[in-house]
Homo-oligomer: A and B are copies of this chain.
């Protein structure tokens, strides 16, 4: 599989330019990417031509240009989330060995928008694109817990808490304190609630207004998950969630 060098070089240059918000010059870039001045000059001129970088006025320093922003502005938010989360999900799955996933609230349901498969012989099925109720899923309970009280109560009032498995919460008065605990702990877990034998963990991703926008989830069969290293799994997941929140906030203001 052959690749195109100049493109790889261009992106290496973009990385460097992006890392210098106040602008970088040709020479500085050429040193960091270990390429010759003239090459960097040509590549930067090309990138400027396509709008990927722009020159600071009254100087010849480069910064990231408008075309990259307009490129991603065409991309729907879900997809941006998926892209943002992708490396973290892969890392989580690599570290923990179980499937990880990404869910967003979708009205009164949860929508699974991504899932990274582990290598286990026994694993959960593929849920990408599927919707499930808020009260019986890891991510759903997390969303309920972090929604504003009014939205949470409206759900508990209007939606019957249908039983999906042996441990599903079907009584609002039992679910409420559980949600409070989830909110206090900052993560959510399930065991035999959505399906018997299925265990899961979910941590939140917040936007710049502290609204919950998505959940990172980890699932596995309950005989194996979370296992002995429960604390380690939890801290890995929480850490990933925090990092994604930070990233999202940076990109959204």
Residues of A within 8 A of B (CB): 1-4, 6-8, 10-11, 14-15, 18-19, 21, 42-43, 45-47, 49-50, 52, 54, 57, 63-77, 79-80, 83-84, 86-87, 115, 128, 207, 209, 213, 247, 250-253
Contacts and interface: CB of A to CB of B under 8 A. Distances in A.
Given A10-B10, A68-B71, 15 more contacts: A1-B45, A3-B46, A4-B10, A7-B10, A8-B46, A14-B71, A19-B74, A54-B86, A63-B75, A63-B79, A64-B79, A69-B72, A69-B251, A73-B250, A73-B251
Contacts of A250: 73-74
A206 to B, nearest CB: 12
A184 to B, nearest CB: 27
Given A18-B72, A253-B77, A66 B45 contact: no
A18 B79 CA distance: 11
B3 A6 contact: no
Nearest to A11: B50
Copies held by the complex: 2
- Give the dominant DSSP class at A's interface: helix
A88 B42 CA distance: 27
A250 B1 CA distance: 36
A90 to B, nearest CB: 10
Contacts of A42: 2-4
Given A10-B4, A72-B18, A247-B73, A64 B83 contact: yes
